[in-house]
Amino acid sequence: MGRSHTATEHRTVLSRRALVGAGSATATAAALGFGVTRLTAQTGTPAPDAGASPAASPAASPTVVSTDTFIEPEVRASENGRLITMLQAMEEITSGAGRMAYNNQLPGPTLRVRPGDTVKVALVNGTTESTNLHTHGWHVSPSGNSDNIFVHVEPGQTFNYEYVLPEAHIPGTYWYHPHPHGQSADQVAAGLAGAIIVEGGLDDLPEMQGLTERILVLQGPFTGASNQPEYLVNGQLNPVIDIRPGETQRWRLLNLSANSFFNLRLAGHSMHRIAIDGSPLPEVQTTDVLLLGPGERAEVLIQGAAAGIYELQSIPWSPDIPSQATGQFLVATVVSGGEAVTPMTLPTTLIPFEGLDNDEIAQRRDIVFQENASGPAFAIDNLAFVEDRVDQEVQLGTTEEWTIRNTSPEWHPFHIHVNDFQVMSRNGNPELPHYEDTTLLPPNGEIVMRTRFEDFPGKFVYHCHILVHEDAGMMAVVEVVE
Ligand code: C2O
Ligand code: CU
Ligand code: CU
């Protein structure tokens, strides 16, 4: 898995890097006294793994570090309650690995907004395919020129989206991507995706003040040199992330791949999870391994271990299901160095959770995700997606409980638009209370979830977020009526 920039790509990366300040990783590693090997095709040579214990010290010998300093996508932030911006879906990409990108940037720009904002996005379709735009996880209207995935924007056309976020919108980490049925996987895998941050919530906790905040948009696989798969962070192969020993950083991890799972482990460090998808957790959950299916996000706190070099890997996952098993691959390299700081005491409680446990249930539904040998290969309740069929009709303002069964031997990430849900149980086991918008249906298993169809009537979809499955038909329509 070698770095494979063409000259053009390299120039672009360098110039993008210049915008955000160059070379600190190399400088840091040099300051640490490590011999920094210029990055060639070296990612097969593992950096010393300090082991799972946060106290473990790194190997003393010099090792290999990427020379790509971590950079973040360009930020477009709202001002005075408004963000007006343009996203141009393009096929002629000079900025990196993808085949398509918004505004020639991989990933697309990060949108930063606040609850109550009005967001206007002119989507320019500069590709040769039909496309559209979806704001994954947003609680906004699914109709008209809001988060309406039934809109088709044809090549050469511009469509003006307008989203009005409720004042009570949950602050957190969201994303945008195309949603044209039949081509979603292709376009997202090609690179069309970007992060959205809704500010507030956790941002306002005293413990979060002054922390270095990073966004890590995970994408891939892209086809790299010698046809090797490459998984990228913010468009970069194995960037170097700096941290000081003892320093606490807040990372937003987004799996914006079309079909891939990331089973993340940072050597020598625990991950202290503070949010799942767009919603804060009531309590910090500490973990050594964090699984993110396609479309899922998490926010974690990381505390820098002793000076050294630590790999952020995706470690092998789901070995028992050969069709979905993933091997180990390197995602990024963390360099802990510089002046040590006294680690802050991590928070334990975060944002109080108001769940749906005590809601009156207006309707219970059973929904089955299936893979079939005959009929539609990927189906929900025996049917492949049809745009003008309504599969579930629900009453606005009510809470429902859905039992979603997976009769196939593969994982399917269940996702529904507009309203988050609370997973009440997974394979019969109760879940820690929290909201999410995408969750993994276990093979031959089930979840029970509750959701409140609040604020917005209209038609929207639920589907598997392995987008090749969605494109193959594993999607259905819900209509909320007054
Ligand atoms: Cu992220 Cu219906 O999609
Ligand atoms: Cu979505
Ligand atoms: Cu699926």
Please write the tens of the pLDDT for every residue from 299-338.
Answer: 999 999 999 999 999 999 999 999 999 999 999 999 999 9
Question: For residue 93, which phi and psi values (nearest 5 degrees)?
Answer: -100, 125
One-letter amino acid of 433: P
CB 23 within 8 A of CB 36: no
What does the buried/exposed string (b/e) look like for 254-278 if buried means 16 or more CB atoms within 10 Å of the residue's CB? bbbbbbbbbbbbbbbbbbbbbbbbb
State the closest ligand 1 atom to the C-alpha of 463, by its place in the atom list counted from 1: 2
pTM of the predicted structure, to 2 decimals: 0.88
Residues in CB range of 449: below 8 A, 6 or more apart: 401, 402, 404, 414, 421, 422, 423, 424, 439
Burial class (CB in 10 A: 0-12, 13-18, 19+), 368: middle
Question: Distance of alpha carbon 452 from its chain centroid, rounded?
Answer: 23
Q: Would you give the DSSP letter of residue 466?
A: S
Return the bridge partners of 174, or none: 196
Measured in whole angstroms, how far is the alpha carbon of residue 108 from the centre of its chain?
13
Tell me what pLDDT residue 67 has. Answer: 60
Which helix (H) or strand (E) element contains residue 268?
A: none
Range 366-387 average pLDDT? 95
Q: How remote is the CA of residue 315 from the centroid of ligand 2, in Å? A: 26
Higher-pLDDT residue of 122, 7: 122
Collapse the DSSP code of 399 into the 3-class scheme (helix H, G, I; strand E, B; otherwise coil) and give the result: strand
Nearest atom within ligand 1 for CA of residue 137: 1
| pLDDT tens readout for residues 54-83 | 333 343 333 445 567 899 999 999 999 999
Ligand 1, CB cutoff 6 Å, lining residues: 134, 136, 177, 179, 295, 415, 417, 461, 463, 465
Cα(449) to ligand 3 centroid in Å equals 18
* Rounded Cα gap, residues 297 and 279, in angstroms: 10
Instruction: Report the distance separating Cα 285 and Cα 207, nearest Å.
Output: 15
> Cis link prior to 107 (omega < 30° from 0)?
yes
Residues of the chain above pLDDT 90, percent? 82
For residue 170, the 8-state DSSP code is P
Rounded to the nearest 5 percent, the helix, strand and coil shares of the chain are 10, 40, 50
